[in-house]
Amino acid sequence: MLNDDERRIRDDRMMVLAGQSGGLSRQIDPSLYSTYGVKRGLREANGRGVLTGLTEISDVNGHRDVDGKSVPIEGELYYQGYKITDLVEGFRNHRFNFEEVTYLLLFGELPNRKQLRDFIDLLGQYRELPSKFVRDVIMKAPSANIMNGMQRSVLTLYSYDSDPDDITIPNVLRQSMLLIGVMPMIAVYNYHAYQHYHNDRSLIIRYPDEELSAAENILRMLRDDGQYTELEARVLDACLVIHAEHGGGNNSTFTTHVVSSTGTDTYSAVAASLASLKGPKHGGANLKVENMFKDIKEHVNNWEDEGAIRAYVEQIIDGEAFDHTGLVYGMGHAIYTLSDPRAVILKEKAKKLSEAKGLEEEFNLYQTVEKVSAELLTEKRHLSKPVCCNVDFYSGFVYSMLGIPRQLFTPIFAMARISGWCAHRMEEISSGGKIIRPAYKYVGHHRTYHKLEDRS
């Protein structure tokens, strides 16, 4: 067994060896992608995704064909054929909206009153981790990144399943209900465990209440006093609803399809999707937005001065400020142009919550940055289509107002998207048939082998 000093020496030797080889840093010539017609990132030249599958679960629209031309429209998101805006409007004054959306995604139809009540009761019963799971799994070696802890926890649940490899639809539905039920517990408990062992925080493990909604239980389990307002629970519930699904082409859901097409078990497929969502280009985007606004607040003293805000956002776009990438995080989307319906819904919730918490000035700052960013990006990038904010623009602000720590921003996304992943997994198993296997073109060189003693 190596000690810490010996491990450091080993790792240093490895880095020296790596530095002596040029193979690790060799990059593909970018021009070859055009030469061979490769769709980088599975994207067409216009930015749209390459068509790789069919789905009935959800639809995402940002354009409409009119007389053979693609015309931008207000963004549309459909769950099983229902517009997300219609669903959210119909959900007003209800408590279990995420649960109703989960039923819709899994079963393809909206439930009647009895079906919804039975489903809520069942989901409440599935909010139960195996005996001693928190002690034996979550409390052991907690990770600073909660998403890694969630992956480990999900994979370990395989060992507690009496029939983990059965991929018949009834069994996968059972496993899906379990994972949807326990995902909030897995995330919150992993957070508490890390804070306890590494930041000396008091350890409070509060079990979920079967009578409460997913949103209510998340706030109850997360907060030391277990208290929350009705408005806070409704706002978080709306966040879960709009993050539950977004078509089969987003990276984590596509991962679900790819991994499920191999015939592997549900726990492995969901762990892979969690790994995808963890990436800062996917689920971690709202953290980038929050970091950007922290920087804006430090450099713009008067949040009511639109001219000063515009000037600083222009510096960001020119690569002269913030992280010097030229990106305004939370602005733009691959499909939506005039608006992202999720962002429209979330902006309304952010406004109500900011009024309740006395943070109207900060909300107005977000609105102003959204406005001037759209104008400046269109002007400076000479764009032919409008730029709208996406769902990440306001989500971090909403989470912060709810008192959700930054380490749980992406896990909140996962708590919602697990419903969509499970629906797509069942669709892939039922309809896919073939293993998903794209092709890569070899552009290296064929070389002659030389024996070790003949190499310089």
- Give the residue carrying structure tokens 């005039």: 338
392 is an active site residue: yes
- What single DSSP character describes residue 225? T
| Spatial distance between the Cα atoms of 391 and 348, rounded to a whole number of angstroms | 12
Helix (H) or strand (E) holding 71: strand 69-79
Contacts of 214 (CB under 8 A, 6+ apart): 98, 99, 123, 184, 237, 240, 415
| Spatial distance between the Cα atoms of 142 and 145, rounded to a whole number of angstroms | 9
Structure tokens at 454: 């003949």
243 is an active site residue: no
Helix (H) or strand (E) holding 269: helix 266-278
Give the count of beta carbons closer than 10 Å to the beta carbon of residue 282: 15
Structure tokens at 41: 């990132």
* Closest of 370, 368, 351 to residue 360, by C-alpha: 351
Structure tokens at 200: 């000396």
| Spatial distance between the Cα atoms of 166 and 157, rounded to a whole number of angstroms | 14
**Chain-centre distance for alpha carbon 278:** 7
- Give the residue carrying structure tokens 């289509």: 385
Asked if residues 151 and 186 have their Cβ atoms less than 8 Å apart, the reply is no
Burial bucket for residue 88 (CB in 10 Å: 0-12, 13-18, 19+): buried
Residue tagged active-site, from 237, 265, 340, 392? 392
| 3-state SS, residue 112 | coil
Residue tagged active-site, from 265, 333, 340, 424? 333
Angle at 329 between CA 366 and CA 41, to 5 degrees: 150
Which amino acid is it at 29?
D
* Closest of 265, 274, 245, 267 to residue 429, by C-alpha: 265
What strands, in cross-sheet order, belong to the sheet with 69-79? 58-66, 69-79, 82-83
Enumerate the active-site residues.
333, 392
